[in-house]
Amino acid sequence: MDSRHLLTIAILLALGSVVHAEGLEFIPFLGYQAGGGFEDSDTGVEYDLADAACTGAILDIDLSEATQLEFYFSRQETEVESEGLFPAETFFDLDIDYYHIGGTFVIVRNTWQPFAVGTLGVTHMSPEPSSIGSLTRFSVGFGGGVRYFPTEHLGLYLAGRAFFTFIDSDTHIRVESGGSTINMHAEGLWQGMVQAGLILRF
């Protein structure tokens, strides 16, 4: 069964357990995502993922005064570039999606609300212009930030997160453009993100 299908089942089960939640928050956000790289095990060429903007949305459901169940999605449209001292050469475009579920711990419930968050789920990487060779791998995320509520139902969101994607050594990405194949060699993929959004509380 595909990893995203397993995550969908987990989300449905989790939703069924919070039908009596005290409240929920929807947070569309913009962010900036950086980091990530790997090596072609056949050629030894090293590649970096270009730093780029990302977009996404968060759904936080109250479980108690201090805890929330979180559903998280984000997308970064980036490029795979050669690593080195000279100007980087772009090989192909790559979309990176995170589908995560986890929990938020609100340290203080006040106008200003510092918080910590931990999630797990999957990372979906899809080369462009073709999705042939796209891959999905398990990943974990953690971070923290602050929320500001000038009114009861409207707030501002600022956070930083880190994601680690587990990649086995025989993973490959096939790129239709030019018929090339990159055999990825990496213990895993680290990415960091800063994000800001608007909180709509119901």
CATH of the domain at 92: 2.40.160.20
* Cβ atoms of 137 and 100 closer than 8 Å: no
Residue 163 confidence (pLDDT): 98
Residue ranges of the chain with pLDDT lower than 50? 19
* Cβ atoms of 113 and 148 closer than 8 Å: yes
Whether 17 maps to a domain, the answer reads no
Look at the chain and report how many structural domains it folds into.
Answer: 1
Residue 80 confidence (pLDDT): 84
The residues with which 74 forms a beta bridge, in sequence order, are 56, 98
Whether 18 maps to a domain, the answer reads no
Residue 60 structural domain? 3-10+24-201
Residue 75 confidence (pLDDT): 96
Whether 172 maps to a domain, the answer reads yes
Whether 74 maps to a domain, the answer reads yes
* Cβ atoms of 85 and 111 closer than 8 Å: no
**How much of the chain, in percent, has pLDDT values that exceed 90?**
54
DSSP 153: S
Whether 41 maps to a domain, the answer reads yes
Q: What is the pTM of this model?
A: 0.84
Residue 60 confidence (pLDDT): 96
